[in-house]
């Protein structure tokens, strides 16, 4: 029996790598020393930042400066998951949520706007780290974070100064909604999806990447979200992103499309009709192994549609790169390429091409793999090649003998 690989709800590219904050050297040393010691000193530092945030909700320059510093320190501490409980227990969540919005204006504040977007950005960053622990996702949402995060996404009208805060808001949504279907639906109800789709066209690639990462998470196993993403006309931009030279962008784009088509024949047809097939095949030769893996998985999903689709995948040059991927050092890359080849081999018109391009030998070698999913996918592909509708074609008997002798 064929085993359907899971699409992955893995959010942002390379597991949230590269998320750094600028701190003064003295702050960095102090945080490192306190974190290393842990205990009372760490709790004291956390409590001090929470108190600062409780008492500095204004546009005064001094307040904005210390509030910004407090959010950054809490985010730096929260990078160590062992300290997340302590941060939450000190009452950080409500004050961080409060600082996701701009303070109220008073006379003279309109012209000042000290550290515009900076405190909100730091708060979103810290909450994103706290949300990595599933038990705190609901707490953060119950404190009212989602409407503020969606509003931060809408700061794209404020020009380039808002890029970082938009990115951090999208990243926080990724972590809040990760494997939490009710929160995914709440993001939709708060109006987050149309704005995220709009951000796919933002002129900063980092913002594009984060927006696509959020859509990828929101689309995973949530049909209402999938439909709204399509209704917002996301497909043309996602398909354009598949051809980006930025590996982070095409990785997220192929992930969004993969989650959209998962378990939906109707959406699969819409994606193919929109012209996604050739760009996805192109990703099989990407320098990014994660993109190659996702592209192979997506082609396997496309190949389940009908014989015509299988034929188009082969005719457009997918078989050669898929066979090359069978020899990748990465297990997941091999697993997904074997899955795609297995789907293609279900159509006897494709079987000779796979065999003659050298697909048999690497598939046979994978039968010795200690990874059960990889072994299963290789066996499924070989079964398709050997069966050939009861041996009505002459190639089938040779492949059966070859399989049995090895």
Which pLDDT tens digit goes with each residue over 208-220? 999 999 999 999 9
Task: Please list the helix, strand and coil fractions of the chain in percent, rounded to the nearest 5, in that order.
Answer: 75, 0, 25
Per-residue pLDDT at 73: 96
pLDDT, mean over the chain: 89
When pLDDT is cut at 50, 70 and 90, the band that residue 106 belongs to is confident
How far apart are alpha carbons 266 and 230 in whole angstroms?
A: 11
When pLDDT is cut at 50, 70 and 90, the band that residue 349 belongs to is confident
Query: Residue ranges per domain, the chain?
Result: 312-406
Better-predicted residue by pLDDT, 196 or 384: 196
CB 210 within 8 A of CB 170: yes
Among residues 90, 169, 164, which one has the least CA distance to residue 127?
169
Give DSSP secondary structure letters for 111-169: HH-TTTTHHHHHHHHHHHHHTTSGGGHHHHHHTTHHHHHHHHHGGGGG-GGGHHHHHHH
Q: pLDDT (tens digit, 9 = 90+) per residue, 208-260?
A: 999 999 999 999 999 999 999 999 999 999 999 999 999 999 999 999 999 99
Q: Which residue has the tokens 């003659």?
A: 356
CB 258 within 8 A of CB 266: no
pTM: 0.89
How far apart are alpha carbons 301 and 303 in whole angstroms?
A: 5
Q: What size, in residues, is the chain?
A: 406
Per-residue pLDDT at 165: 96
Backbone angles phi, psi at 29, to 5 degrees: -65, -40
How far apart are alpha carbons 100 and 87 in whole angstroms?
A: 17
CB 206 within 8 A of CB 167: yes
How far apart are alpha carbons 93 and 71 in whole angstroms?
A: 11
Q: Above 60 in pLDDT, residue 101? A: yes
Q: Above 90 in pLDDT, residue 135? A: yes
Class of domain 312-406: mainly alpha
Q: pLDDT (tens digit, 9 = 90+) per residue, 141-196?
A: 999 999 999 999 999 877 667 999 999 999 999 999 999 999 999 999 999 999 99
């Amino acid at each position: 029996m064929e085993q359907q690989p899971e699409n992955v709800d893995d959010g942002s590219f390379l597991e949230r790598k590269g998320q750094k904050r600028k701190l003064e050297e003295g702050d960095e040393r102090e945080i490192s020393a306190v974190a290393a010691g842990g205990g009372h000193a760490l709790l004291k530092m956390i409590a001090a930042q929470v108190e600062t945030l409780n008492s500095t909700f204004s546009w005064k320059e001094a307040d904005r400066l210390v509030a910004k510093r407090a959010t950054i320190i809490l985010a730096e501490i929260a990078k160590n998951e062992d300290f997340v409980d302590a941060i939450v227990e000190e009452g950080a969540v409500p004050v961080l949520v409060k600082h996701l919005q701009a303070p109220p204006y008073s006379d003279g504040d309109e012209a000042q706007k000290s550290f515009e977007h900076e405190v909100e950005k730091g708060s979103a960053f810290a909450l994103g780290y706290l949300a990595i622990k599933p038990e705190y996702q609901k707490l953060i949402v119950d404190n009212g974070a989602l409407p503020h995060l969606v509003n931060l996404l809408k700061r794209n009208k404020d020009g380039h100064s808002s890029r970082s805060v938009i990115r951090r808001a999208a990243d926080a949504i990724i972590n809040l909604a990760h494997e939490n279907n009710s929160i995914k639906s709440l993001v939709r109800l708060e109006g987050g999806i149309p704005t995220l789709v709009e951000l796919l066209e933002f002129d900063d690639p980092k913002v594009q990447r984060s927006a696509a990462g959020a859509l990828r998470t929101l689309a995973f196993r949530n049909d209402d979200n999938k439909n709204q993403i399509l209704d917002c006309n996301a497909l043309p931009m996602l398909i354009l992103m598949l051809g980006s030279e930025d590996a982070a962008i095409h990785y997220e784009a192929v992930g969004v499309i993969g989650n959209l088509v998962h378990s939906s024949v109707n959406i699969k047809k819409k994606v193919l009709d929109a012209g996604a097939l050739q760009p996805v095949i192109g990703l099989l030769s990407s320098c990014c192994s994660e993109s190659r893996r996702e592209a192979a998985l997506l082609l396997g999903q496309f190949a389940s549609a009908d014989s015509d689709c299988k034929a188009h995948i082969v005719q457009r040059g997918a078989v050669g790169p898929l066979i090359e991927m069978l020899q990748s050092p990465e297990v997941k890359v091999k697993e997904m390429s074997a899955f795609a080849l297995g789907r293609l081999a279900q159509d006897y018109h494709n079987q000779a091409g796979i065999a003659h391009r050298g697909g048999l030998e690497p598939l046979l070698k994978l039968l010795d793999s200690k990874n059960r999913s990889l072994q299963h996918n290789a066996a499924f592909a070989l079964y398709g090649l050997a069966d050939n509708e009861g041996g009505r074609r002459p190639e089938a008997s040779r492949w059966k003998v070859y399989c049995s002798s090895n």
